Amino acid sequence: MALINQETKELHCKIVYYGPALGGKTTNIRQVFKSTHDDQEKSDLIEFDMGTPERTRFFDFLPLNVGEIRGLKVRFHLYTVPGQVIYDASRRLILKNLDGIIFVADSQIDRMDENILSLQNLEKNLDLAGYNIRKIPLVVQYNKRDLPNSASIAELRAALNKYNSPDFEAEAEKGVGVMQSLNTLAKTIVATLKSGNV
């Protein structure tokens, strides 16, 4: 749910990176942070340490290429969720007031079950928060495409993209597919808000 800051004339939108543990959510957010390194309109990359390898990361930035909505600049807040199921309460908390999701799947064949469980968990947590996954802007990213044991795109789509969302192949470590995923989601969010849901 986008929030308006009248003082700064900004519309704040929340994007959450969701997916299985070690699937590439953090790598995505670091790549986005790095690619906006000279942007004066962004915060520091903040990390909430829970004493485990799975940490929540956050930063916000004001992209120049999405335009304005009713005279308001759009600022995006990017979050990652912990990938491990034991942190489900943290996942639910991070999903509050969201505007869009990038589901980051691990393309490796032996991670398919974890991808499916993570997607089911997303569906359940969105439902508990009062969201309809069919109405929330969603992008699916198939990460780690460079690994030799990757499932085919057809297999990944059949298992993970039942909502027919925009999807992208990615190699987040190299930055491949990272900004395309984010830009597509950002434009979808802006289009949704412009249609009257502000």
What is the distance between the alpha carbons of residues 157 and 163, in angstroms, rounded to a whole number?
10
CATH superfamily of 3-197: P-loop containing nucleotide triphosphate hydrolases (3.40.50.300)
pLDDT, residue 198, reads 44
Structural contact between residues 182 and 103, judged by C-beta atoms closer than 8 angstroms: no
Q: How confident is the model at residue 186 (pLDDT cuts 50, 70, 90)?
A: very high
Q: Could you tell me which of 133, 109, 131, 106 has the C-alpha nearest to residue 118?
A: 106
Q: Hey, is 119 helix, strand or coil?
A: helix
Quick check: 18 pLDDT over 70?
yes
| pLDDT > 90 in the chain, percent | 53
Q: Of 23, 191, 16, 198, whose CA–CA distance to 108 is shortest?
A: 23
Can you give the residue ranges of every domain in the chain?
A: 3-197
Higher pLDDT, 11 or 125: 125
Residue pLDDT, tens place only, 142-161: 999 999 999 999 999 999 99
DSSP 75-114: EEEEEE---SGGGHHHHHHHHTT--EEEEEEE-BGGGHHH
Decide if pLDDT at 185 tops 90. Answer: yes
Q: Phi, psi (5° rounding) for residue 106? A: -90, 120
Bridge-based pairing state of the strands 167-169 and 138-143: parallel
